[in-house]
């Protein structure tokens, strides 16, 4: 009896284990089916589900719907290729450079770009050398020989992008010369050359007479090539005693010779230097007076008698040349506008210092 009871217990345990084995296997395939659906592995999901049905001898409506949805979605979904668009860019640093008038020192521009680039514009007086790896540009300038600031730019182009480097160069500085001895290469006394500075402010002193008014004086002051002056002219007869009586005033006698004249003037005007101030032009305006002098033929010993002169507008113009060491010679012409138009040739010698 005991042996029969032991056999029955053993058989019952085997049946329980077999039942548990079949139950666990069906759950395993159900779990795998769910994993395949989650991973969008529709084909293996169907296989795992078929194994589940064989072992469990039952169906699962939710799994079947999920598998169908997975298969339908895989068939209808079209995978579009992803196009990656890379934006072109060019960056420079710095974007502005300044050079002195010599322009020899090189300066570097750093270029950062994701495309090949070139110079689309570069003036001749700017020199630019591109580094081998195209990450930098060394820039220099030719000497600036003019007395004006020189400005231009370099344009760097790559793809559809452009960047501009602005270049500015100082003007040449005019040398300030003082009076000194400059020795030639031979270094001898005979080869020394006197170089004199052109002063910014200069003074003009001049004897300025004319045919009618031999006594005259002019003084001027100028800076660079512009200036002004004052001129005074008179006649010797104006400085001496001349008889003047109302009885003979302005009387013309048929037997008189051509009357003499007295000319006085006071004129202010402008100076303008040309050809490196080796020649000066002048023009002025002011007041002038012409007086006629008459001599009575019946009185040989009598002096000349003057009429009342009319003071009116007078203009003058002329030029003077600087010869050497500031010595000047000048010539010009005066016009006095009254009832009668009077003219007078003027001349002068002077000094600029």
Tell me, what's the pLDDT at 175? Answer: 65
Query: Structural domain boundaries of the chain?
Result: 24-68, 90-169, 201-352
Q: What is the mean pLDDT of residues 294-313?
A: 59
pLDDT at residue 309 greater than cutoff 60: yes
Query: What pLDDT does residue 177 have?
Result: 54
pLDDT higher than threshold 50 for residue 195 = no
CA atoms of 228 and 242, how far apart (whole Å):
34
Model confidence at 280: pLDDT above 80: yes
Cα–Cα separations (whole angstroms), residue 25 to 39, 49, 53, 293, 312: 21, 12, 11, 154, 138
Q: What is the mean pLDDT of the chain?
A: 75
Could you tell me if 196 and 179 are in contact, meaning their C-beta atoms sit under 8 angstroms apart? yes
Residue-level pLDDT at 6: 59
**Rounded to the nearest 10 degrees, how much is the dihedral formed by the CA atoms of 223, 224, 227, 231?**
90
Query: How many angstroms separate the CA atoms of 57 and 22, rounded?
Result: 11
- Segment 68-77 shows an average pLDDT of 69
pLDDT band with cut points at 50, 70 and 90 for residue 237: low
> Taking residues 176-181, what's their average pLDDT?
50
Reported as a pLDDT band with limits 50, 70 and 90, residue 238 is low
Lowest mean pLDDT among 128-142, 183-197, 281-295: 183-197
Q: How far apart are CA 78 and CA 102, in angstroms?
A: 68
The span from the CA of 271 to the CA of 266, in Å, is 16
Task: Encode burial over 55-89: b for 16+ CB neighbours within 10 A, e otherwise.
Answer: bbeeebeebeebbeebeeeeeeeeeeeeeeeeeee
41/99: higher pLDDT: 99
Q: Which helix (H) or strand (E) holds 316?
A: strand 310-322
Share of the chain above pLDDT 70, in %: 70
pLDDT higher for 102 or 104? Answer: 102
Beta-strand runs (E) in 136-278: 136-141, 150-158, 161-169, 180-182, 193-195, 201-210, 215-223, 226-234, 260-274
Higher per-residue pLDDT: 39 or 291:
39
Q: What is the pTM of this model?
A: 0.40
Q: Is the Cβ–Cβ distance between 129 and 137 less than 8 Å?
A: yes
Mean per-residue pLDDT, 54-63:
82
Q: 119-151 pLDDT, tens per residue?
A: 888 899 999 889 888 899 999 999 998 889 999
321 has pLDDT over 60: yes
Helices (H) and strands (E) in the chain, counts: 4, 19
User: Helical H runs in 161-293?
Assistant: 236-239
What's the CATH number for 90-169?
2.60.40.10
Q: Which of 227, 175, 223 is nearest to 199 (CA)?
A: 223
* Torsions phi, psi for 35 (to 5 deg): -65, -40
Q: Does domain 201-352 have CATH number 3.90.920.10?
A: no
Contact 102, 143 (CB under 8 A): yes
Q: Select from 313, 321, 326 the least CA-distant residue to 285.
A: 313
The pLDDT of residue 12 is above 60 = no
Output the six-digit token pair for 59. Answer: 């169906």
Q: Are 140 and 99 contacting, i.e. CB atoms less than 8 angstroms apart?
A: yes
- Which DSSP string corresponds to 28-77? HHHHHHHHHHHTT-HHHHHHHHHHHHHHHS---HHHHHHHHHHHHHHHH-
- Strand 96-99 relative to strand 161-169: parallel, antiparallel, unpaired? parallel
Q: Is 50 exceeded by the pLDDT of residue 243?
A: no
172 confidence band (pLDDT: 50, 70, 90)? confident
Beta strands 305-306 and 279-294 are: antiparallel
How far is it, in rounded angstroms, from Cα 269 to Cα 272? 10
- Is 254's pLDDT higher than 50? no
Q: How confident is the model at residue 193 (pLDDT cuts 50, 70, 90)?
A: very low
Average pLDDT rounded to a whole number, residues 106-119 = 91
């Amino acid at each position: 009896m005991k042996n029969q009871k032991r056999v029955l217990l053993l058989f019952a345990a085997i049946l329980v284990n077999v039942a548990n084995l079949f139950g666990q296997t069906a759950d395993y395939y159900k779990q795998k089916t769910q994993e395949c659906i989650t991973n969008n592995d529709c084909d293996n999901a169907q296989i795992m589900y078929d194994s589940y049905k064989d072992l469990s001898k039952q169906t699962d409506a939710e799994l079947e719907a999920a598998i169908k949805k997975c298969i339908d979605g895989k068939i209808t979904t079209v995978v579009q290729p992803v196009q990656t668009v890379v934006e072109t860019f060019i960056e420079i640093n710095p974007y502005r450079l300044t050079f002195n008038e010599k322009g020899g020192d090189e300066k570097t521009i750093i270029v950062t770009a994701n495309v090949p680039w070139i110079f689309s514009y570069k003036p001749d007086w700017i020199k630019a050398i591109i580094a081998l790896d195209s990450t930098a540009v060394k820039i220099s300038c030719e000497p600036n020989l003019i007395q004006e600031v020189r400005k231009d730019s370099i344009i760097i182009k790559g793809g559809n992008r452009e960047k501009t480097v602005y270049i500015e160069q100082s003007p040449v500085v005019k040398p300030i010369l003082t009076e000194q001895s400059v020795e030639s290469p031979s270094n001898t006394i005979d080869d020394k050359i006197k170089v004199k500075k052109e002063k910014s402010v200069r003074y003009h002193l001049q004897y300025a007479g004319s045919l009618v008014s031999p006594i005259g004086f002019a003084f001027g002051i100028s800076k660079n090539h512009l200036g002004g002056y004052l001129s005074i002219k008179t006649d010797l007869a104006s400085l001496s005693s001349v008889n003047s009586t109302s009885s003979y005033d302005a009387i013309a006698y048929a037997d008189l010779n051509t009357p003499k004249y007295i000319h006085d003037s006071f004129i202010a005007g402008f100076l303008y230097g040309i050809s490196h101030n080796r020649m000066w032009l002048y023009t002025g305006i002011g007041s002038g007076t012409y007086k006629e002098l008459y001599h009575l033929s019946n009185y040989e010993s009598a002096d000349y008698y003057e009429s009342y002169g009319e003071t009116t507008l007078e203009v003058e113009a002329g030029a003077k040349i600087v010869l050497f060491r500031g010595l000047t010679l000048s010539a010009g012409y005066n016009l006095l506008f009254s009832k009668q138009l009077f003219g007078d040739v003027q001349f002068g010698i002077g000094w600029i210092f």
